[in-house]
Chains A and B, each alone.
Chain A
Amino acid sequence: MSQLLDIIGSFITGATIILVIMNLNFQITTSQRENFFNSISQTEVVNFASVVENDIYKIGFQPSTSNIITAATSNTIQFYADIDNDTTAEQIYYTIGDTSSLSGTPNPHDRPVYRRVGTGSLNLVGTAYSLDIAYYDSIGNQLQYASLSSQSARNRIKKISFNYVFESPYPVDGNYQKVQWKKSFNPRNLN
């Protein structure tokens, strides 16, 4: 009888240890995936921010026209800026694509963000869960998007605010890693 109890006891102990080790292994894998995607998310956001900052600060630098911002919507902006310092302003265009453009990733919400310089092709500069661009006049009032269809309204833009949310392309434990970057710019050549 005592031998049977020993066998049952050791079986329960062994099973518990195996479960603990399996759980530990699962946690290690999840944690590694989480850290990996977190690092990717942070890198993606910093890279996107670097590109945007470089362009936005140069808005209106050496333009050949007084109409510096030529398109302004909640997720599209087009403006003149001499980004390569060759005394000729290029037309820079940012826009966000559809979720269907990134159907290859498991994330159903991520969308590509494109940038175009001059008449070149659209280049992917990042992916986004959302990208919201807001525009403000000289006294800090937000300009309504409907009014920004007119060039005279766009010429009143003095401050541009970006609200970019990145979400990792793959889920960890059913959740997508989210990192937000929100920044307001007062380009010198608009002020």
Chain B
Amino acid sequence: MQQLLVIGALIILGSLVLTFNRSTQNVNANNYFNTAVIDATASGQSIIESIQTKAFDEQTVLSAVTSAGDLTGVGSLGPDAGESNPLQFDDIDDYDNYTEVDTFQQFGNFSVSVQVNYVQKYSPETISSTPTFIKKIDVTVTNSYLVQPLTLSRIISY
């Protein structure tokens, strides 16, 4: 009988230890996630900062445009001829489908990818199938410590 009580006590103690370990792991994962979000946000904001210093469109780099139809076509968004890296990019949509890796000490590599689309004037969440005077930049940052990719968006109007 006494042996059974001891075994029962050990099982209870064992489950307590396992529960505590699981709880500690969850808290640690949460802490890592929070810190990774700080890094990912800074990384995403940095690239948005760079993008928004560029011209609105290839057609507006040197001159003004009065009709949305004169802007770069939806299918032509992306780097223009002779542009292969950010030092050569001169307008916002050159960053469409651009990717880079940002390295941090604690969590290693953060993959940053950029999407640029025209969006509808009165519904900036909706991608437009024709050029408009509003572009939406979506920057998605992924890292193994992030539970899910972090996406930052910025709307730029001409």
A and B are partners in one complex rather than unrelated chains: yes
Q: Is the CB of A191 within 8 A of B53?
A: yes
Q: Is the CB of B42 within 8 A of A186?
A: no
Interface size on A, residues (CB 8 A): 35
Q: Which of A20, A158, A165, A178 contacts B13 (CB 8 A)?
A: A20
Q: Is the CB of B49 within 8 A of A49?
A: no
Interface string of A14-44 (1 = CB under 8 A from B): 0001001100100110010011001101100
Interface string of B93-122 (1 = CB under 8 A from A): 000000000101110000000000000000
Q: Report A-chain residues with C-beta under 8 Å of the C-beta of B4.
A: none
Q: Which residue of A lies closest to B16 (CB)?
A: A24
Q: Report B-chain residues with C-beta under 8 Å of the C-beta of A159.
A: 49-50
In the docked arrangement, what's the CA distance between A61 and B17, Å?
58
**Interface residue? B20 (CB, 8 A):** yes
In the docked arrangement, what's the CA distance between A178 and B31, Å?
12
B interface with A by C-beta (< 8 Å): 6, 9-10, 13, 16-17, 20-21, 24, 27-28, 31, 34-35, 38-39, 42-43, 45-46, 49-50, 52-53, 86-87, 102, 104-106
A interface with B by C-beta (< 8 Å): 10, 13, 17, 20-21, 24, 27-28, 31, 34-35, 38-39, 41-42, 45-46, 49, 139-141, 158-159, 161, 165, 178-186, 191
Q: Is the CB of A165 within 8 A of B42?
A: no
Q: Is the CB of A178 within 8 A of B106?
A: yes
Q: Is the CB of B13 within 8 A of A49?
A: no
Given contacts A27-B24, A165-B105, contact A183 B45 (CB under 8 A): yes
Q: Which residue of B lies closest to A31 (CB)?
A: B24
Q: Which of A10, A21, A46 contacts B38 (CB 8 A)?
A: A46
Q: Which residue of A lies closest to B103 (CB)?
A: A182
A-B contact pairs, 21 of them (CB 8 A): A20-B13, A20-B17, A24-B17, A27-B20, A35-B27, A38-B31, A41-B35, A42-B34, A42-B35, A42-B38, A140-B86, A159-B49, A178-B106, A179-B38, A179-B106, A182-B39, A182-B102, A182-B104, A183-B46, A186-B50, A186-B52
Given contacts A41-B35, A165-B105, could you give 9 more A-B pairs where the C-beta distance is less than 8 Å? A20-B13, A31-B27, A34-B28, A34-B31, A140-B87, A182-B42, A183-B43, A183-B45, A186-B49
Q: Is the CB of A182 within 8 A of B43?
A: yes
Q: Report B-chain residues with C-beta under 8 Å of the C-beta of A10.
A: 6
In the docked arrangement, what's the CA distance between A170 and B25, Å?
22
Least CB distance from B30 to A in Å reads 9
Q: Report B-chain residues with C-beta under 8 Å of the C-beta of A39.
A: 31
Q: Is the CB of B49 within 8 A of A184?
A: yes
In the docked arrangement, what's the CA distance between A42 and B50, Å?
25
Least CB distance from B37 to A in Å reads 9
Q: Report B-chain residues with C-beta under 8 Å of the C-beta of A139.
A: 87
4 closest cross-chain pairs (CB), A and B: A184-B46, A183-B42, A38-B31, A140-B87
Q: Report A-chain residues with C-beta under 8 Å of the C-beta of B87.
A: 139-141
Q: Is the CB of B49 within 8 A of A185?
A: yes
Given contacts A24-B16, A24-B20, A42-B38, contact A184 B50 (CB under 8 A): yes
Q: Which residue of A lies closest to B105 (CB)?
A: A180
Least CB distance from B103 to A in Å reads 9
Q: Report B-chain residues with C-beta under 8 Å of the C-beta of A185.
A: 46, 49
